[in-house]
Amino acid sequence: MFQNNPLLIKLKKKLHQKKLKVEGIVKSTIRGFGFLEVDSQTTYFIPPQNMKKVIHGDKIIGSVEIKNNREIICPKKLIEPFLKKFIGSIYKKNNFICIQSIYPYVRDVYFYNYKTSIVRSWKNGDWITAELKQHSLRDKKCFSVNILEFISEQDNPLSPWYVILSRYNLEKKSPIVNFLNLSPDNISNNNRVDLTCLDFITIDNCYTKDIDDALFVEEISTNKLALTVAIADPTEYIPVNAEIDNIAKKRIFTNYLPGLNISMLPKKLSEDICSLKPYVKRPVLACRIIIDNNGYIIMQKTEFFLAWIKSQGKLSYDNVSNWLEQSGDWRPYNKNIEKQILLLNKIYKIRNFWRKKNALIFKDRPEYRFHLSKKWEILNISIENRRIAHKIIEESMISANICAANFLEKKLGYGLYHTHIGFDTFNAKNAVNFLKKYNIFYTSEEVMTLSGFCQLKRSLDELSDEYVNYRIRRFQSFGEISLFSKPHFSLGLNSYATWTSPIRKYSDMINHRLIKSIINKSNNIAPPNNTLLSHINDRKRKNRMAARDIEEWLYMKFFYSIKYENEHYQADIVDISRGGIHARLLNTGAFIFIPSTYIHNVHHEILCHSEYGVIYIKNKIYYRVSDNITVRLLFINNDTKKIIASLVH
């Protein structure tokens, strides 16, 4: 009733003669106009001609003006541009080049002005990294960019991998050091024990080339076993701050991606010179662990030393598992190998029993493997469950890492430790209050101790309710890397320091050097600093995000290649957000999203409670995280890379 009131219009015009200025974030639309979002309740309209001065996501100051009886924004000052360094593609039309960003809400912005030092005949669809240099609002000129890097041609089958890796500023290829001319023959025999006569074996995937651990077991009495864990020794070839060391320090990890592995070290090292290949002599850092029949490690008898070994067999997880499970045709090569497998299985059983009683064990979860053609086309997705041979190796490596943590703490007082504090004070109270609803009673002081946390986890295993486990995980803190020994609550261990993958993890190389400095009685190894710890955490996060993005792209390609529309799929709810259900398909591992409108069509009757992980319909709980549901896939959103689904009732 006030819309066309002359007095109100006159008052608005008078107020806006002062040109009220507001600050906010630009939000664009596919129709060319946009909005300035000042806060969650205040937005102003930006007409199409004014949107040409800004980009979606820009933080700006604009003046509020009246036009055709409507408040509009005229952009005046750029506070912070949204687009800085970005991934884009070359768009050619009539031999005229422009650059288009890949970000969903910036795809309609084309940059016609650019500079570059790259000498290249640009092709339509070339992927590039660019940087915004001039902003229309800030520089009083048109937008312009600098092309910083050529990533890939459009028709390169690896372009999705390269584009995603570039997005996170990660390396796209394994390092190559041309002058690398190293050999185990050049290593001094000083301080190395010759164990080449012992029956060390390796167990890995059949396609593994960077073999970094070998095992040997012997019975030393009726109630004790000696497990020797031999680990490849790349630090014997790589001096601190040498070129190869600096490469590894930057990369931090070998990046294992679907269809593509990018090694931390040059492959000449990781897959040849250092790899514990069968029947070849290799230098190792070894740990001899004495374990009694109850699974206890006799820590005071643990020895770390330098050695030579010669693996007597490269075994595969599947073959060893099949033989132990009495299936398949594979048999150990000889009686010595057979004896090693049986003794390793015995160690697994007694150590696993010890951990169940005195620490914690993660539940087995299926892993999903993408099968790609030689042209990197997706062929299939399979489920790979962890089998007995995987667990044998895992138990051996965990035992070795427990020993390393104890060794470093006692001998040096520092190292790189994996730690987890469980709950902080605030969340311990929240967890305890939540558990009372399920008649599980603890005090916050109890669950903040290692023993109390372990007892709580065992109580949850007995309850066998995945929803309760989900809620408790939400209260837990994140793991971190520490310079000093602290408990690892999630493993239920007093201390944990990894050293068993030095050709794949730079943090394990660091612990190698620290352990070797103790063995060699050297004092010239400095402790790692906090800058390096921060870099390790950052690279771990980026590697994980890159792998997730590549998986999302592969899932999209996979479902585009099959007729999914009329199929029903089983899925588990993994999270609930304000907008709907996030679930994972059981047969492929693909993550899907079910918007609330596809759950219940009456908007005011449904409430998606993200904190509690439940969905209310008419004030009644209908869905919880961990529920198994039946879904139908509807479509794939190319912009968000989400697979949209609906419930099948």
Please give the positions annotated as active site: 204, 210, 212-213, 317, 504
Element of type H or E holding 401: helix 388-411
Residue whose tokens read 């004092």: 523
Residue 511: both structure tokens together: 């612990």
Q: Give the DSSP letter of residue 516.
A: H
Element of type H or E holding 170: none
CB neighbour burial string for 442-455, b if at least 16 within 10 angstroms, e if fewer: bebeebbebebbbe
Contacts of 53 (CB under 8 A, 6+ apart): 75, 136, 137
Residue 397: both structure tokens together: 């490596």
Q: Which residue in 442, 451, 505 sits closest to 475, CA to CA? A: 442
Classify residue 618 by burial, with Cβ atoms within 10 Å: 0-12, 13-18, 19+. exposed
Q: How far apart are CA 594 and CA 572, in angstroms?
A: 12
Residue whose tokens read 């999302």: 552
CB 512 within 8 A of CB 285: yes
Residue 181: both structure tokens together: 């001319």
Phi, psi dihedral angles at 240 (to 5 degrees): -60, 135
Tally Cβ neighbours within 10 Å of residue 39. 10
Residue 414: both structure tokens together: 């520092």
Q: Which residue in 13, 312, 374 sits closest to 158, CA to CA? A: 374
Q: Which residue in 205, 251, 266 sits closest to 543, CA to CA? A: 251
Contacts of 97 (CB under 8 A, 6+ apart): 90, 91, 112, 114, 122
Residue 81: both structure tokens together: 């541009």
Residue 427: both structure tokens together: 């969340």
CB 278 within 8 A of CB 284: no
Q: Residue 355 to residues 122, 175, 352, 469: CA-CA distances in angstroms? A: 59, 39, 5, 20
Q: Find the radius of gyration of the CA atoms of the chain.
A: 30
Q: Which residue in 618, 591, 594 sits closest to 606, CA to CA? A: 618
Q: Which residue in 322, 320, 335, 328 sits closest to 393, CA to CA? A: 320
For residue 96, give the amino acid letter: F
Contacts of 280 (CB under 8 A, 6+ apart): 310, 311
Q: Residue 86 to residues 56, 144, 155, 170, 538: CA-CA distances in angstroms? A: 14, 13, 20, 14, 19
165: helix, coil or strand?
A: helix
Q: Specify the pairing of strand 192-194 against strand 303-310.
A: parallel
Q: Which residue in 590, 580, 569 sits closest to 622, CA to CA? A: 580
In sequence order, the β-bridge partners of residue 315 are 203
Q: With left for phi above 0 and alpha for psi between -120 and 50, is residue 613 left, alpha or beta? A: left
Q: How far apart are CA 247 and CA 624, in angstroms?
A: 46
